[in-house]
Amino acid sequence: MDSNGVTLDDCGIAELAAAVSTLSDSIQAGKLAEFTDGDVTALMRQLEACKRQLTALDTRLIIEAGERSLHARSGAGKMVPFLRHTLGLSRYDAALRVKVTHHCGEFIEPTGHLRPAVLPVMAEAFAAGHISRDHVRNIMDVMDHLPLDIPVEARAEAEQIPVDYSREGWPDDLPKIGRDIVARLDPDGNVVSDADRRRRRGITLCRPGVDGMSRIEGWITPELRALLDAVFAKLARPGMCNLEDAESLTATAGFIEDKVLDAAAGRDRRDAAQRTHDALLAMLQPGVDLSELGYHRGMPVEIVLTMSLADLERGTGVATTASGTQISMNEALRMAEGTNPVLAVLDGKGMPLYLQRSRRTANHAQRLALLARDKGCTRPGCEQPANMCAAHHITDWAKGGPTDINNLTLACDHCHAMINDGRDGWKTVVMGKDSPYAGRTGWIAPKGLDPTGTPRVNQRHHVGQAIAAAIDSSCRQWRSQAA
């Protein structure tokens, strides 16, 4: 690096690098064994924040290099090849760093004025080490897909939502949050319309190969996806419709005992794609009536659409299926007319108000209410949708816990196995009246992970509610003007 006139010490970067180096040395020195579990977790968090802040420093250095025209003077031409040659980066990595710089950096314009960051809220959180570059990449993608004509305040609000989520949440969830934001800002589908999706739909069965096998490719609509998910949840699960197992359970098996299914699943060596193939084959067998598939893990094998009352009244936003697929309100209402799904409508706090087609047994209504309230596994951070969960007792049935909705919660098998009274066990409680999440299930992590023992809820399946409230506050006026 050409450091004429400016030394590394002047920038403070040398000290930062030294601090990282010192921290790294102390870990290498082998004192980790003396740490408590909580200390190890805290150190991992501290290091992650440190690495994020270092990553954010790239922006300043790339701007500095650009202003000095280092890329042009080095003969590389543009900034991406300059970074590749200088740092040995992949094309993807170099291009991403330049894009992040464009969105997070403050540039001096030819007029001498400082141009603020394109996404200032995100830039600040990134520089502070609160969010990672993966978060930044996905937030940029969300913002690129917003309608062009929304007012400045709505754009600022729309930036705030994924940034706030990212401080505690995962980068992988951001596309879903983005779809929710677009559905609310663009209820008429000017950016991604149902018509666009219908235009793109198509399934191609390619020409069979020498071995007789055919490749299948294409794009399916959210509606077909929701229907397939509901059926695959039952027919494609381990132990069902297995072509390699003569005693496997078939699509016409009717009521299946848990132990019979567990035994069949134990013999099942297929991967997920093979199970999906066999389920499709099973669906097409004579005598299979998909409306008679009954239950899968206590959930009905039918479309369950969950939506908020406010969205339903306005006709905006999204409805969610038991497998977590998002469907625009227009499509959901069309499906409600045609395929007769179960409709669950939620109030402003996400509690079920209305369940269409409540059946005879209390059991069925309870399960639907659970599905509508919890939407998926309730352990903080778990992304398993409702159709991969079973209803579990919060206060154990063996300890006198009643089988009523207030004592039941959705948990996937993996998370349910983590609940026990041992040192590493998790505990569940019902959040009290004073909590903003009253009535929902709180999970208490083992001491090693969280010494404070604070019960936390899983916000992963509930982000839509927060988005609805935030977007509403900034867009109500704009919508009424546009109408």
Q: Give the nearer residue to Zn ion in terms of CB position, either 409 or 474.
A: 409
> Least Å distance between CB 381 and Zn ion?
8
Residue 13 and residue 480: Cα distance in Å, rounded? 51
Q: Give the nearer residue to Zn ion in terms of CB position, either 63 or 418.
A: 418
Judged by CB under 5 A, the residue of 323, 325, 326, 384 near Zn ion is 384
The 23-52 contact track toward Zn ion, x by CB under 5 A, reads: ------------------------------
Mode of pairing for the β-strands spanning 299-300 and 295-296:
antiparallel
> Least Å distance between CB 389 and Zn ion?
7
Who contacts 315 (Cβ-Cβ below 8 Å, separation ≥6)? 187, 329, 330, 333
Is position 377 an interface residue for Zn ion (rule: CB under 5 A)?
yes
> Least Å distance between CB 458 and Zn ion?
8
The 404-443 contact track toward Zn ion, x by CB under 5 A, reads: --------x--x----------------------------
Is position 227 an interface residue for Zn ion (rule: CB under 5 A)?
no
> Least Å distance between CB 21 and Zn ion?
39
Is position 80 an interface residue for Zn ion (rule: CB under 5 A)?
no
Residue 378 and residue 351: Cα distance in Å, rounded? 14
Is position 382 an interface residue for Zn ion (rule: CB under 5 A)?
yes
For the chain, the first-to-last Cα distance in angstroms comes to 57
> Least Å distance between CB 147 and Zn ion?
35
Residue 331 and residue 117: Cα distance in Å, rounded? 37
> Least Å distance between CB 361 and Zn ion?
26
Stretch that binds Zn ion, among 120-128, 209-217, 309-317, 376-384 (CB under 5 A): 376-384
Q: Give the nearer residue to Zn ion in terms of CB position, either 130 or 375.
A: 375
> Least Å distance between CB 237 and Zn ion?
16
Range list of β-strands (E), 309-419: 318-320, 326-328, 342-346, 352-355, 389-393, 408-412
Query: With the CA atoms of 77, 78, 82 and 88 taken in that order, what torsion angle do they form, in degrees rounded to the nearest 10?
Result: -120
Q: Are 98 and 61 in contact (CB under 8 A)?
A: no
Stretch that binds Zn ion, among 242-250, 263-271, 372-380, 463-471 (CB under 5 A): 372-380
Q: Give the nearer residue to Zn ion in terms of CB position, either 164 or 383.
A: 383
Q: Give the nearer residue to Zn ion in terms of CB position, either 184 or 460.
A: 460
Stretch that binds Zn ion, among 25-33, 50-58, 75-83, 374-382 (CB under 5 A): 374-382
Stretch that binds Zn ion, among 38-46, 265-273, 371-379, 432-440 (CB under 5 A): 371-379
Residue 212 and residue 205: Cα distance in Å, rounded? 12
Q: Are 129 and 53 in contact (CB under 8 A)?
A: yes
SS3 category, 145:
coil
Q: Give the nearer residue to Zn ion in terms of CB position, either 96 or 412.
A: 412
What is Dmax (Cα atoms) for the chain? 83
- Pair of tokens at residue 107: 């540039």
> Least Å distance between CB 377 and Zn ion?
3
| DSSP letters for 4-73 | TT--HHHHTHHHHHHHHHHHHHHHHTT-GGGS-HHHHHHHHHHHHHHHHHHHHHHHHHHHHHHHTTHHHH
- At residue 348, what is the residue type? G
The residue ranges that bind Zn ion (CB under 5 A) are 377, 379, 382, 384, 412, 415
